[in-house]
Amino acid sequence: MHPTSTNQQTPPAVPPRPRTPFWDNVRFACIVLVVVGHAVQRLAQDSDAAMTLYMLIYAFHMPAFAIISGYFSKGDAPNRQRMARLLTDIVLPYVLFEAIWSVTKLLVEGHENFNFTKPSWTLWFLLALAIFRLILPYLALLRWPLLWSLVVSIGAGYLPNLDSTFALNRTLALLPFFVLGWWLHEHDVMARLRLLAARPWWVPVAALAIIAAAACALWFGLDGWQEMSLRRWFFYDSSYASLGNPQWWAGGIRLVLIVIAVVLSCAFAALVPLRHTWWTHLGQYTMYVYLLHTFVLYPFRESGALRGLEPVWLWLPLVVLLSVGLAIVLASKPVRIVFRGLVEPRAAWLFAERALVSRRPATPGADSEPPARSTPQAAR
């Protein structure tokens, strides 16, 4: 027998680790908030109730998405497959949909400069995710990475020349939320505090009270909040001076809003079911909803069809319900089959090694679910 020929047995295939229902539930709940927020935007211009709902959603929905994305990101040096996935999961869909939006605006509005450095509408978050993932390994090398991300976020607001080029304004402003998500996993906070176990009855009650208190604060102080442009503060895309606060202490406002966003995100997550539900599987396909819902809403936004609708008590709940239905439809299997090539481009032809790219569910900012760890020092 040839000395190199041995009776080697192929190791048994490792079955895929079951998904945690809570994470898919909270992903889908967050994407529903994104759709609702965009749908009620025009209503909010004519209705205090719609404006209150709009501002409540914008106070935390994108920070919550950034936290979830950070939780499923890794702070070690990326391997070749993760680098390839950054291109196929984020960069390539951004290029494809930015091109589609450029053509759409050219046909509908009659002008478009085809500037791929200035993301259209919601596409800024894809660029933010790409940058988050690129800089996280460097932040993870530092002491107090969460503190440094806060310094970057607050400091960015003092720079009047920081604009939407490559979404840097929002990327730097939202960085603490992404780093917070990574930090929560890095220190095994969810397992240590048993946050994915059964909840005591008072947790959802307290969460409802927090969200209700925020809604009341927005409702009763709406005139003041609008005067100070609080809605624009929630976008995290403007300098303090452009928001009417050039004072040296303006960064304190952003810090307070960051704290509020974290509290509201936690309260919202505490209302999301821990168990498997009929819509849990839709949380694996939030990228479809994120990228496609804007094309459905675009005609309504541009035509003014959602302006001046009366009575608001009827139209506002109806628009919310239709938004939830739209999110469900866009995450459904028929839509995924039709648009898979755009939302989940494999693009194996781009890479020297075809094995670098593998199919996986389309969720903004999510690597595969991280394994559970008993200690923070365990290998990522």
The parent domain of residue 153 ranges over: 21-356
Higher pLDDT among residues 263 and 375, named by residue:
263
370 located within any domain? no
- Of the pLDDT bands very low, low, confident and very high (cuts 50, 70, 90), residue 3 is very low
Q: Mind listing the pLDDT tens digit for each residue in 209-246?
A: 999 999 999 999 999 999 999 999 999 999 999 999 99
What tokens appear for 8 in the block? Answer: 């080697």
> H or E segment at 278?
none
What does pTM read for this prediction? 0.90
Element (H, E) at 275: none
End-to-end CA distance of the chain: 42
Token code pair at residue 255: 């810090």
CA gap 305, 310 in Å, rounded: 12
Question: Residue 361, preceding bond cis, omega within 30 degrees?
Answer: no
Determine, yes or no, domain membership for 215: yes
Please report whether residue 207 resides in a domain: yes
Integer Cα distance of 288 and 327 in angstroms? 9
- How much is the pLDDT for 358? 62
- With 0-12 / 13-18 / 19 or more C-beta atoms within 10 angstroms meaning exposed / middle / buried, residue 84 is buried
User: Average pLDDT, whole number, for the chain?
Assistant: 89
Residue 13, pLDDT score: 52
What is the mean predicted confidence (pLDDT) over 240-261? 96
**Would you say residue 300 lies in a domain?**
yes
12-24 tens-digit pLDDT: 555 566 789 999 9
Overall average pLDDT of the 193-208 stretch: 93
Can you tell me the distance from the alpha carbon of 281 to that of 117, in angstroms, rounded to the nearest whole number?
A: 34
Residue 107 inside a domain? The answer is yes
Half-sphere exposure of 216 (CA within 13 A, CB side): 6
Q: Is residue 312 part of a domain?
A: yes
Confirm if 76 and 140 have CB atoms less than 8 A apart. Answer: yes
Q: What angle do CA 124, 62, 175 make, to 5 degrees?
A: 75
Is 130 domain-assigned? yes
User: Which is higher by pLDDT, 254 or 371?
Assistant: 254
Q: Considering its fold, how many domains does the chain have in total?
A: 1
In a domain, 241, yes or no: yes
